A = this chain, B = another copy of it.
Amino acid sequence: MSGSTFGKLFSVTTWGESHGPAIGAVIDGCPAGLSLAAEDIQKYLDRRKPGQSRYTTARKEGDQVQILSGVFEGRTTGTPVSVVVFNEDQRSRDYSNIKDIYRPGHADYSYDAKYGFRDYRGGGRSSGRETIGRVAAGAIAAKLLKTLGIRLTAYTRAIGPVKVPSDAIDLTVIRDNPLYMPDQEYAKKASAYLETCMQKQDSAGGIVECLIDGVPAGIGDPVFEKLDASLAKAIMSIGAVKGVEIGDGFASAQLSGSQNNDPFYLPEPGKAPAKEAAGSIPAPAKSSNHAGGILGGISDGSRIILRAAIKPTPSISREQSTITRDGKNTTIAIRGRHDPVIVPRAVVVVESMAALALADAMMCNMSARLSSLQDFYRN
């Protein structure tokens, strides 16, 4: 197993190394009839593309996606959608400086320990370019979810110590700054912080937050396939993510039950229950949402909130001590231009992985009740 497939019914298999001929993904189980074109995917890929600001590497990457299967006359056929991005700019460089050295904070050593050798060109499979496949698949999942009235919104909540406070969050300005932050002032502060990092030949991390609106109650399965568990795996599987939270997350550990419980109430009590999908029961509102929209691993119909902690870029030009493959102590200063922060580029990756986990959970939920099967097959 090399773990390149995610999802039970809506599944994605990604492949490709940063300096191989191409990178891609196979999206299997996408329902038939979804209108889909390369542009739908390209829009998402462009959000992770480098060279868009001075805080991302200047590497030129066209990253033009092609759809090779699964779409006919503009709609998905229900069979696998294969997408590919050919790697440009892969002229053989001089890798002698990293070929036999394990870069601190990178997967060089752990891959070597697992496989006995590694594709050392630009990180190979552990490169950030691996996320191209995730984002291409996420674009399709997000489009599918949109047809079901579900919208995902991810943004940079914090960069290093600069964190946007809850009351300052303005979702309308996210695309107005290169850091994808929901507040222009904090975006400026974060930029200033990044400047100092760069002067020190250092890097920064941060926090990505993702909101999911429109998810009906009842999504997710008990015990091991809880919706939050699937989301946690999806998000933690992104390179550089070191922590995941749902709702108040770690903060809730300090609250008391009376503070953390979200009281239910009915805006219009007695009103005939609307949602059939919610089983002829009322669709309540909650006076707070510390739970982040998930109770007992199953969505409660309110906004889903998750957070990912992104570690600082391990590639820094500062000298660091490490070892060589043949057992000598040494030092390394990583040459070439690298992102001083990857958080802004990780925003769309987090959004994509959340979309993949949710789309799969929603498909798996369709057979939760006998009445659903009977309605489906009786017609």
Contacts and interface: CB of A to CB of B under 8 A. Distances in A.
Indicate how many identical chains form the complex.
4
A50 interface: no
A105 interface: yes
A292 B366 CA distance: 29
Given A66-B21, A79-B4, A370-B32, A309 B245 contact: yes
Interface string A349-379: 0000000000000111111111111101111
Given A28-B1, A80-B14, A218-B113, A371 B33 contact: yes
20 contacts: A2-B223, A14-B223, A15-B81, A21-B69, A24-B68, A32-B114, A32-B116, A72-B119, A114-B220, A117-B279, A204-B256, A205-B254, A232-B235, A232-B236, A242-B291, A259-B312, A264-B323, A266-B328, A269-B323, A270-B327
Contacts of A291: 105, 242, 311
Interface in A143-161: 144, 147-149, 158, 160-161
A3 to B, nearest CB: 3
Contacts of A248: 242, 311
Interface string A201-216: 0111111000000001
Contacts of A270: 327-328
A117 B33 contact: yes
Contacts of A164: none
A64 interface: no
A263 interface: yes
Contacts of A226: 3, 236-237
B312 A256 contact: yes
Question: Which 6 pairs show the lowest CB-CB distances between chains A and B?
Answer: A107-B296, A3-B225, A3-B221, A203-B257, A113-B217, A243-B249
A246 interface: yes
Contacts of A311: 248, 252-253, 255, 260, 290-291
A23 B112 contact: no
A105 B370 contact: no
Contact of A109 (B84, B217, B223): B217
Contacts of A197: 256
